[in-house]
């Protein structure tokens, strides 16, 4: 049974589930900077997919008293996963999955945070209607009215779009040969604009207060201040946008499959879960703000998703409610090398071999996402057996990348 190690860094303790997985020195130093902040409550929890990030360490769970660190949440606010199981089995899939991948790529815009990554030829009526009636449009108007610098970001033009980098859409098979659809995306251009804006505002706020930090990206906003309240409102809006973004994409992918495959039903929805977000929670005797930066809520009985990488296994898990982890688990395998390093290390031949059997991109544009750039998902899962139980094990047969 896995268990955490406690690391003393001169501030709050760091409880880390890293047995058998790499915990790079740069990430350790970054976690130490977080743990020494005066706003930290009880301790910092570190998940086995930990690696250095911008602002805060990816794979960290940060409990704070009366404050939030916008850069710890990051600019992809509400980024997360969604998975559904269908009644289909692998025998209902065609021998070649290339046509299905092409149709998914047509149905769901993918790419960066600019217009090319969204509905560049016009937003579908169903998407525009959802943006209007869901309250997203009205909520954004209020936020932009208070903070005009946020205006102009892609919002409805990105609703139902994938993004790039480690974001993906996959068709998978579980241990019973059942077909799943799983996807990973967040709040896209508008979340990026909101995150970037409030990260800078937090820096300005601490400079005015004369508070110095070893890393300015760890600047925080304090509860009770107008700027804090505005950030919470914008943050919750972006998290809702991210959740609905995944729902729109899922429906469009399922529609592709309905057109191209035999009739099927949806049998099980794992969860639509964030892994870059903030929630108000009660831990170790206090109501605190909990930031999960590359981590998933894993309360007792709660379902979650831990994906591997292109060509690696993924998992549907059930939380055990481990208090020391703030009821959290990893959000994936976690990078073991930077994108630049991966591009200089691996060849197209390496990537094609690693993704053999998966209908996916095999070009140089995704070398930085090749499986060997990530930690061993089996080791990551072994390091957190006291955090989650495995419910389903999935393997990809189709992977769409931006």
Instruction: Tell me the C-alpha distance between 192 and 179, whole Å.
Output: 33
For the cut 90, the answer to whether the pLDDT of residue 214 exceeds it is: no
Query: What ranges do the domains of the chain cover?
Result: 5-336+374-401
Residue 270 confidence (pLDDT): 63
- Over the stretch 78-93, which tens digit does the pLDDT of each residue have? 999 999 999 999 999 9
* Counts of helices then strands in the chain (DSSP H, E): 10, 17
- Which pLDDT score, from 0 to 100, does residue 133 have? 97
Q: Which residue matches tokens 């990809």?
A: 396
Higher pLDDT, 114 or 183: 183
CB-based contacts of 100: which residues, under 8 Å, 6+ apart? 93, 94, 171, 256, 257, 260, 261, 359, 398
Taking residues 163-191, report their average pLDDT: 96
Half-sphere exposure of 395 (CA within 13 A, CB side): 10
Distance CA 348, CA 296 (A): 32
**Does 338 or 131 have the greater pLDDT score?**
131
Across all residues in the chain, what is the average pLDDT? Answer: 95
DSSP collapsed to 3 states, 258-293: HHHCCCCCEEEEEEEEECEEEEEEEECCEEEEEEEE
Q: pLDDT by residue (tens digit) across 343-401?
A: 999 999 989 998 999 999 998 888 999 989 899 999 999 999 999 999 999 999 999 99
**Distance in angstroms (rounded) separating the CA atoms of residues 9 and 362:** 43
Average pLDDT over residues 175-203: 97
Strands 80-89 and 266-274: antiparallel
- Would you state the pLDDT for residue 382? 97
Known catalytic residues are 331
Among residues 191, 227, 247, 209, the alpha carbon closest in space to that of 74 is found at 191
pLDDT tens-digit readout, 281-332: 999 999 999 999 999 999 999 999 999 988 889 999 999 999 999 999 999 9
For the whole model, what pTM was predicted? 0.96
Grouping H, G, I as helix, E, B as strand and the rest as coil, residue 87 is strand
Distance CA 282, CA 287 (A): 4
Query: Length of the chain, please?
Result: 402
The answer to whether the CB of 111 falls within 8 A of the CB of 402 is: yes
At the fourth CATH level, which superfamily is domain 5-336+374-401? tRNA-splicing ligase RtcB (3.90.1860.10)
- 80-89, 129-138, 198-207, 360-369: range with lowest mean pLDDT: 360-369
């Amino acid at each position: 049974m896995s268990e955490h190690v406690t690391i003393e860094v001169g501030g709050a303790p760091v409880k880390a589930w890293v047995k058998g997985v790499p915990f790079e020195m740069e990430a350790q130093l970054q976690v130490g900077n977080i743990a020494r902040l005066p706003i930290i409550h009880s301790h910092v929890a570190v998940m086995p997919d930990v690696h250095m990030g911008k602002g805060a360490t990816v794979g960290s769970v940060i409990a704070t008293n009366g404050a939030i660190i916008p850069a710890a949440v990051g600019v992809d606010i509400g980024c997360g996963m969604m998975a559904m199981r269908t009644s289909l089995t692998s025998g209902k899939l065609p021998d070649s999955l290339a046509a299905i991948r092409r149709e998914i790529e047509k149905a769901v815009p993918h790419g960066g945070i600019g217009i090319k990554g969204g509905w560049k030829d016009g937003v579908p009526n169903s998407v525009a209607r959802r943006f209007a009636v869901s309250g997203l449009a009205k909520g954004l108007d209020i936020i932009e009215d208070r903070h005009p610098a946020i205006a102009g970001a892609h919002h409805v033009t990105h609703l139902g779009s994938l993004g790039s980098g480690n974001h993906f859409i996959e068709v998978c098979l579980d241990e019973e040969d059942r077909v799943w659809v799983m996807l990973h995306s967040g709040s896209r251009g508008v979340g990026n604009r909101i995150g970037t804006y409030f990260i800078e505002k937090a820096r300005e706020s601490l400079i005015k207060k004369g508070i110095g930090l070893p890393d300015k990206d760890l600047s925080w906003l304090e509860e009770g201040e107008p700027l804090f309240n505005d950030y919470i409102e914008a943050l919750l809006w972006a998290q809702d946008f991210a959740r609905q973004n995944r729902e729109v994409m899922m429906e469009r992918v399922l529609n592709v499959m309905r057109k191209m495959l035999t009739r099927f039903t949806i049998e099980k929805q794992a969860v639509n879960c964030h892994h870059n977000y903030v929630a108000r929670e009660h831990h170790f005797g206090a109501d605190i703000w909990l930031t999960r930066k590359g981590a998933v809520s894993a309360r007792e009985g709660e379902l979650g998703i831990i994906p591997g990488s292109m060509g690696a296994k993924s998992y549907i898990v059930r939380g055990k409610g481990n208090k020391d982890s703030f009821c959290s688990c990893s959000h994936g395998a976690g990078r073991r090398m930077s994108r630049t390093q991966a591009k200089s290390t691996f060849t197209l031949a390496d990537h094609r071999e690693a993704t053999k059997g998966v209908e996916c991109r095999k070009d140089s544009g995704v070398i930085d996402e090749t499986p060997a750039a990530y930690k061993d998902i089996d080791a990551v899962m072994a390091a957190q057996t006291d955090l989650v139980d495995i419910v389903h094990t999935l393997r990809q047969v189709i992977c769409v990348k931006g």
